Structures are given as C-alpha cells and as structure tokens.
Amino acid sequence: MAVRRSKQQHADNWIALDAGGTMTDAVIVDDSGRFLVGKYLTNKRDESVSFLGSITDAAATAGRTLDDTLRRSQVIVYAGTIMLNTLLSKTGAKVGLMVTQGFEDYLLMEKAEGGWISYPYSDRLHTVTHHHEDPAIPRTRVVGVQERIDLFGQVVLPLRKGDVEAKTRALLAAGAESIAVMFLFSHMNPAHEQEARRRIRSVAKHLPVVLSSEIAPTHKEYTRLASVVAQAYAGERAREHFERVEARARDHGFAKEVSTLLAHGGTVPISTKRLYESYVSGPVGGILGGHYVGEVIGSGNVVGCDIGGTSFDVGIIRDGMIPIIREPTLLSFRSNIPMIHTESIGAGMGSELGVHPLTGKLTVGPRSAGSDVGRCLNWPVPTITDCHILLGYLNPHYFLGGDVQLDLDAAIRALEPMARHFNTQVYEFAERAHLLVCEYMREFLVNMLRGRGYDTHDYTLMMYGGGGPLGLADVVHGLELKDIVTFPFAAVFSAFGVLCAPRRYRYHQSIIAACPPGRDAHVVAVKEAAIEAINGAWQQLEARAASDFAQHGWNFAEARQAHLMYVRFTNQLSDFEVTWDLSRLRSTADLDEMMRRFERVYTTIYPEQALETEAGYQVLEVALAADITTPKPQLPTLPLAGPKPPDAAVKGTRKVYYRGKRLDFRIYEMDELQAGNIVNGPSIIEHPATTFYIPPDKHAAFDERRLIRYRDGSR
C-alpha cells in the first residue's frame, strides 16, 4: 500500500515490527513513500529468524533485498513477545532477592487480591478454585539484610555492609544469576541500595544487579517489588534476545540502535534499564494506530479490536484520549508500569477446540496453536483455523501468499470425530465453532464498553490483526456502532501503530506533599513546602531524562515535556493524574489550580457529592514524560475509482458454507481493489496476510484512503 510520509521525514526507511505468538509483522515506509508490509511465522526458539524473515518479505514487495533495506534504515522498532513469553513460561533468570531484614516473605504475602486477580469472574466467586502461583523467586533465594530508612528518607538503621557481602555469597551458592535489591523506602533515599550494589559487586564483579530505586522509585512496596523482580527475572533475559535481534540486523547493514515499544506508548532503545515495561508492546501498538487513524478520519471515540491467532485484544479511546493505568496486572500480581489500557481474552483464530470433561460442551481456547496454526499444519489438535479451511473462508494454498501450504484433508480428519461427538455434520460443527469464538469476542467487547457506561452508538470500531477481517462480520453482528472500519493492511496494523509512537521516556518519583484547606499562615507554609517538593522532584526527573537522552544522542532541549502529578484527597487510597502546563509551580495559586484540575478529573468518575475538599489534598508521586516526535506514515487521499472493482481484482468464485448451505462466494484480491470500489457480499477478499469475509446482505466500501468501511445492505 502506498502512503505519503510527512515532509520532515528523512529519505530513509522506517521499520516497525510486531512479533506475536503466531506471526511476526513488519511495516516499512521506504524512501519512495510506499507502505510495505511483510509477515513471517514467529520462530519461538529464535525470534531473530522471524525478525529478518518479515523484513525480507516486506522488502521483496518492492523488489529490494534485506541488506539494501537495512543499510538504508534510520529506525527499527521491534515490539515483541519475548518478555511476556518468558513470564508465562517461567523461563527467566535465577534471581536472588535482597530485601530489608524481616521482609523476606514479601513475595509470598502478595496483596489481598493476589489469589484471584488473574481468574475469570466465575472463579473469583468460589475460593475453592483459587491457587497461589509459585513465586518467580523461591524462598531459598531470598535474603534479608540489616538496614532501615524511614518514610521521610531518613536513615534509622545504617546498612550493615558485611551482611550484604555474606548474603551475596549465600545467593551465589544458591545458584543466583542476578540479584534484585528492594529496601523499604529506598524510593525516598536510594543510598542503601546503591551501597548494597557496590558491596555485591565487590563479591561478584560481573553479576547483574537491579535496584528498585532505579527501576521504580515510587511508593507502594509490593508493586515496586513486583517491578524489580520482573526486570531481574525476565527483563534481563529479554535483553539478551533483543541484543541478538540487533546483532542480526547489524550483520545485514543496520547501523543504528534497535528500539522497542514500552507499555505507555513510547519507544526507547533496547538498552533502557526498564526493559520490563515492554511486556505488552503488541496490543499497545494497535491502540496507537487506532488513535492515529481516528485523528485522520475525525473520530475521537474509537474501540480498537485485534484478532490474532492467540488472543483478542480490546482498547478504548475516549474523546481522543488514550487511557493510561498505573498498576496493571502482570500475570497474577500488580506491577508499577504505566500502561495504555488494553484487555485480552485467550480467543483467537488459532484457538484449540476441545470438549469440556464435565459438561461435554464445546470449548474454544484459551490455548492456541500459535505459529503451528492447527491440524492443517503442525498442531496435534484441531483449531478454529481448521474450521475456516473446511468452511471455505481460507484458501489453504494462499496462506502467507502460498509460502505455507495448509492441509485441508488433515483438517477434515481432525474435525470429523468432534462433529460425530456433537451428533452433527462436520460443516455445521465447523460453523458453530467459528460462531462460538466470535460470540466470546462480541460479549467481551460489549462488556468492556457498557461496563464503563459507554454507548456503542458513539464509537467507531476498528478491527485489525491477521484474523480481524475474517472475524469482523460475526463479531459485530447485532451491534449498533457509529462506524465499522478495517484495513487492507489489517494483518500488520499493530506494527503500523508502532510507527506512530514517539521516542519517549517516562519517569516517576515519590514525594510527600500536602495541600490542606484554609488560608492561614500555617496552611500557606505547608503549601509552599509542597511546591518546593514537587518542583524539586520534577527537576530531578529532568536531570535523569537529559542523561538518558544524551546516552542515545537525542537532544533533550527538543523534547516535548509533560509534567504530571498524582493527587488524592487526604488519606484516600486512589490518586489521579493531573498535568501542569508549565515546567514548575510558581505560587500557591498554581498549586490551588492543580487541585481544581484534580477535582475535575475526580468528578468525571464520581459524582460531585463525593468531593472531600474539607479533607485537603495529598501528592505522593510526580512524573515526567519527555517525547521526541517521530514522523508518522500518512494515509493519502486517493482519486476515487468507480464502485465496480476492476477485472484484475476478480479471482473467481469458491464454495463457502454459510448457515446450512454451500454458497458461491466471489473471490477478490485485496491489493487490486481501489479507492471508491464497493464489494458486495457474499464475497471473500484475499490478501497474502489476511482474509476478509463478507456475508450476504453486507458490503465493504473502500474510501478515499482505501480504509474499508463495513456496512449493511448491498450497493
């Protein structure tokens, strides 16, 4: 697909990749302005193979080689699943954890929600089903050392240095490959953690050491602990994989740093200390792409839906704002990772089919064949993809443009026993399975919207992912939406969204600041102390940002800065993000204005009667986001052709099973369809990377940007 690039963009390639559980997608905006896409089955053992394979596939669409493409590339952003897969498979490093003496059981204690946070709603109701996962670090590799800093950052008990050295030797004897350090209130004073690192290095010079005061210098010890454990356990292991990817890119001529996408929607080089923040980068890319397209078409309310082979991911953009959550769920615990809010279920087009052992009902997922696709390729049990081949939705000889051949006969042999179990014909069974997984997705989507009090009529739904166009018709069936949009490049839309991300570092720092009610001299003095604490913390964060920017050759003076604080009513447990327009608070009037902004945010969630202004306000954390805007691919306005598709787009017909009958569906080639064309159902539009299924009485209209609008009726 051809797009224009913004005028300030250099004459270099910009490459983004999204490595999912099934496919690795690549998007290249080349120096002629063309939008090139490529896909490759994800190599779970060595992602550098699929990294190069997807770029090769994209470059080949323009007749270019891998080496030529990488030599001419300015930026590569790699959003992968390495971090998440390490956590899921529990294959991280052997970490030794050093904590304040007396808190050695902190990982085992969890928070009150730790026993059910990752459970579906039905299981949350029955504690008999709850099971506490084994911690990533066994108790045998957790040690305590004597030290104590109080909540104001004052030293109460000095660090016993000999204790650190002795406990380091004990961790080494227990097989520790790295050490994570988390002392109480180190976010207020990191001196003890820094000294502990020096003592650890005196015993084990080359051992990786991760400090909580550097990774997550914020209050709430458990989420800070979860973050430092995630970095030491999975982040450092993921770094090895990223470095392998970068080395392979350099072998083929790439001369820059490979970057990755973090959970908050910014890209940073893979050398970042907080690599654990990249664990959900794929779904984040899709939301960034949806936000950008929403700006282009003038839609501020967007619900982005990503159907992959493994999962169904949903994110909601309201009034043009991308929601950020402070403490997302990382497997079965809360972590301190500012993250674009997305939610997922284990239902994708590669989901396994099974029979529930107690009820005898058909089950779909949550396990997925991933890059093994189904019985039609390498998976031992049937999947939804096997159903799609049988139904005629997919051409088994055109998967990835024919590079991967799927076996229809194997799919039939796998599905027939299941059909007999349910006393039905195999075609009817396959369609029921497809409709069931789409119903799961539809219910999940509707619950996310209506559970927040949102009206579906107000939202433009954007469907993407390799399975997005295939599942679109049955996922949105019966829903009343403002508009429904999918894309010719739906299969690589998350990678497209990665190209929309700025270069961004985000920093958080805990403080103690109060803003009491009243105007007497004491209140003014407390407010002035609060202003000093807030401004001082912002200044420290700016210094950290300038140092990180300089390390990568970025000019911090060019960065767009957002100064943030998190405000709560005194002694409440929840705070909310408020942005200040300038770099500093200049007076108590500025501080009062921030409290009024907090109240406006507060009353978008709670009624005005819930305001507790007489209690005063607290600020326990501030933040800084520093962005360098990167050129975005632009979707050009194209001349409109007539509604009739060109002859070159027509590929014939194929029998497709639809609601009890085998109908003739017209088959079209996606890349041959033009802006202005209308494709009436029953039809299937094929692309090497995806398939768009259009049932009878529906149509797809290609608008002036070749975005696809899905609508009722025939035109």
Domain segments of the chain as ranges: 4-86+240-278, 90-233, 503-628, 647-712
How high is the pLDDT of residue 325? 80
pLDDT tier, 49 (very low <50, low <70, confident <90, very high otherwise): very high
Least-confidence region, from 163-167, 267-271, 706-710: 267-271
CATH for 4-86+240-278, among 3.40.50.300, 3.30.420.40, 3.40.50.920, 3.30.420.10?
Answer: 3.30.420.40
Instruction: Give just the sign of the alpha carbon dihedral 49, 54, 59, 63.
Output: positive
Peptide bond into 366 cis (omega under 30): yes
Judge whether 369 and 352 are in contact, CB under 8 Å.
Answer: yes
Q: What residues contact 360, with CB distance under 8 A and at least 6 apart? A: none
pLDDT value of position 254: 94
pLDDT band at residue 1, thresholds of 50, 70 and 90?
very low
Q: What percent of the chain has pLDDT over 90?
A: 54
CB 133 within 8 A of CB 348: no
- The confidence score (pLDDT) of residue 7 equals 38
Mean pLDDT, the chain, whole residue set: 88
Q: How far apart are the C-alpha atoms of 367 and 588, rounded to whole Å?
A: 56
Helix residue ranges per DSSP H, 457-505: 468-475, 493-498
* Residue 538: closest CA among 622, 473, 456: 622
Which pLDDT band, with edges at 50, 70 and 90, does 332 fall under?
A: low
Angstrom distance (rounded) from CA 555 to CA 617:
36
Q: Do residues 532 and 590 lie in contact, with contact meaning Cβ atoms separated by under 8 Å?
A: no
pLDDT of residue 623: 93
Residue 588: its pLDDT value, please? 95
The CATH class given to the 503-628 domain equals alpha beta
Q: How many residues does the chain have?
A: 715
Residue holding tokens 């890209």? 267
User: Where does the pLDDT of residue 6 fall: very low under 50, low under 70, confident under 90, or very high at 90 and above?
Assistant: very low
The predicted structure's pLDDT at residue 487: 96
Please indicate whether residue 573 or residue 123 has the higher confidence score (pLDDT): 573
pLDDT band at residue 629 under the 50/70/90 scheme: confident
Coil, helix or strand at residue 97: strand
> Model confidence over 199-222: pLDDT tens digits?
999 999 888 899 999 888 888 888
pLDDT score, position 219: 82
pLDDT at 42 over 80: yes
Q: What is the mean pLDDT of residues 455-472?
A: 94
Element (H, E) at 262: none
Q: How far is CA 99 from CA 136, 163, 224, 369, in A?
A: 15, 12, 12, 40
CA gap 163, 119 in Å, rounded: 40
**pLDDT number for residue 605:** 77
pTM (two decimals): 0.84
Per-residue pLDDT, 283: 80
Q: Are 159 and 145 in contact (CB under 8 A)?
A: yes
